Structure 1
Amino acid sequence: MSDAEKKALELMAEAEKKLGGGKSFLGGLFGSSDKTSDAIECYQRAANMFKMAKKWGSAGEAFSKSAELHLKNGSKHDAATNWVDAATCYKKTDTKEAVTCLNHSIDLYQEMGRFSIAAKHNQTIAEILESDGDLAQSIIYFEKAADMFKGEESNAAANKALLKVAAHAGLMEDYTKATRVYEEIAASSLESSLLKYSAKEYFFRASICHLCVDVLNAKQALDRYADMYPAFQDTREFKFVRSLTNALEEEDIDTFTETVQEFDSISRLEQWYTTLLLRIKKTMNNDGELC
């Protein structure tokens, strides 16, 4: 056991002693607030010592105890801050506890009207769940973050979160949600001269999602996107999806594969695209290779 860990354990014991020991009548009347403040200080010092010793779970527990005492004292801001500190420690060893602590902080920040901060912590939870492979729960928290960012007029941050929603929805085969989000963001991008060009990618992603449903769906979507954004028709992405729809209509798996290979050789496709394109190809045969 390192010196830092020993000191941290001593401070934890001291905090417990301050909270539970020496309760006289006069101490109960006049001393409880001071003892609580002293205990908070001990827990926070212990947490930092545990961090020095790289005992992340113990550090998270110490910060959580400090947060609970701050809340008991009516200091919501300090409690929320300590729960975030606890989550930062727990993220290294116990992501479930990290999410629990962040949810405590989010509740407090919402009560205080600090919605931008609450949104950021919802996004952090979403990213933790994303890393753990829990895309369904990740989507829920990215949507919460997006709603809060929108409420605070942080549209760029909201769209960033919503793009995660769409991407994960596509991977989970919820193509209706994915296309709806991509189309909404594309439409809003077209309203800005600075963001208009980015609509190409969102229409491209939506087109691939439509293609996962059926060919007619994709063809109609392409026509609709071309009406909304005429320049889209001249892009490699538009022509690529059009070629894929033709290959699917003709049940020509060789042309489908060659089309993907040709596009990928010029513009490397992200894993998200190849995952969905592989699904589409599997509807044509049981071959597991795209390229």
Structure 2
Amino acid sequence: MADNEQKALQLMVDAEKKLQSKGFLGGIFGGGNKVDEAIECYQRAGNMFKMSKNWNKAGQAFCEAANLHSRVGSRHDAATMYVDAANCFKKTDVDGAANCLIKAIEIYTDMGRFTMAAKHHQTIAEMYESDENTLPKAIQQYEQAADYFKGEESNSSANKCMLKVAQYAAQMEDYDKAIQIYEQVATSSLESSLLKHCAKEYFFRAALCHLSVDLLNAQHALEKYAQQYPAFQDSRECKLVKKLCEHLEEQDIEGFTETVKDYDSISRLDQWYTTILLRIKKANDESADLR
């Protein structure tokens, strides 16, 4: 480990020397070769640092190689090196990794490679989504990824990103945004015989977001969804929301809780559903107390 790190540090020094020796005469006599040699030293150093698990130093070495590739106009190689640097920084410095990927994205968009750019925006979003404090950044990155995917007619990938946006928007209590996305993706799913069955889940999520805001809106939404997708009306999801609406109208919080428990015993509700349903219950529990 220590031996690899020493070799890596020496390679960094060698790279610097090669760049410094590229003076006036170097520029005339094979200066380009010196840059190529420096790039090779930085890349080798990056790999040595990786072997010794010094992720920050590895990232820095790959960044130096990327910067040099950019300077000599090797855009594709520069982007590849920025991605390698990001993969190292990802383990210790999320913002550092994101910054490297943004540089790669700038190169890819300039080259017209929007699918690659979209995938890297998606990677940044995935790095940010694990921390509640950085969810707004995750949302922004997923939206940008979806935008590029749509432009390349990758509608399935675009929808996946937008569903993530809806999930986190609801988590952050931006229910209107979540509803708009869930309804939009549900409607587009109905146009495909392969994806039609997915519409049920999206309408269910949208209905719960409506219920988080207003009971009457949720009831109207259920009617609208049943018209758009008649099979939804007979689904357990639709029946659950209708039953919950009835309990809320009657201010029957115990009935609300029991209905959720019964549903959950057959179809397990994940963390997102549980959070939203608890919020609805709590909000109506408090309003019942006020009365």
1:15-43 Cα deviation digits (max 9, x unpaired): 000011363x4223233211111100000
CA RMSD of aligned residues (A): 1.2
Instruction: Count matched residues.
Output: 286
Residue number in structure 2 paired with 1:209? 209
Provide the secondary structure at the position in 2 that maps to 1:113: coil
Letter in 2 for 1:100: N
CA spacing shift, 1:260–1:21, aligned 2, 3 Å: same
Find the aligned partners of 2:201 and 2:165 in 1 and give their Cα distance. Answer: 15
Letter in 1 for 2:67: E
Give 1:131 deviation, angstroms.
1.8
Provide the secondary structure at the position in 2 that maps to 1:227: helix
Provide the secondary structure at the position in 1 that maps to 2:245: helix
Letter in 1 for 2:4: A
Find the aligned partners of 1:117 and 1:229 in 2 and give their Cα distance. Answer: 35
Find the aligned partners of 2:240 and 2:104 in 1 and give their Cα distance. Answer: 46
1:60-83 Cα deviation digits (max 9, x unpaired): 000000000000001111100000
Letter in 2 for 1:97: G
Residue number in structure 1 paired with 2:262? 262
Residue number in structure 1 paired with 2:194? 194
Residue number in structure 1 paired with 2:25? 26
Map residues 112-151 of structure 1 onto 2, 5 A cutoff. Answer: 112-133=111-132, 134-151=134-151
Q: Give unmatched runs, 5+ long, in structure 2.
A: none
1:168-227 Cα deviation digits (max 9, x unpaired): 000000001101000000000101111111100000000000000010010000000000
Q: Structure 1 runs of 4+ off > 4 angstroms?
A: none
Provide the TM-score with structure 2 as the length reference.
0.96
Find the aligned partners of 1:131 and 1:36 in 2 and give their Cα distance. Answer: 39
| Percent of matched pairs sharing the same residue | 62
Provide the TM-score with structure 1 as the length reference.
0.96
Alignment pair present for 1:275 and 2:284: no
Find the aligned partners of 1:278 and 1:136 in 2 and give their Cα distance. Answer: 23
Find the aligned partners of 1:32 and 1:118 in 2 and give their Cα distance. Answer: 33
Provide the secondary structure at the position in 1 that maps to 2:285: coil
Residue number in structure 2 paired with 1:220? 220
1:80-114 Cα deviation digits (max 9, x unpaired): 00000000000001111000000000000000001
1:208-247 Cα deviation digits (max 9, x unpaired): 0000001001000000000000010000000000001111
Q: Which range is displaced more, 69-78 or 278-287?
A: 278-287
Give 1:286 deviation, angstroms.
5.1
Q: Give unmatched runs, 5+ long, in structure 1.
A: none
Letter in 2 for 1:120: K
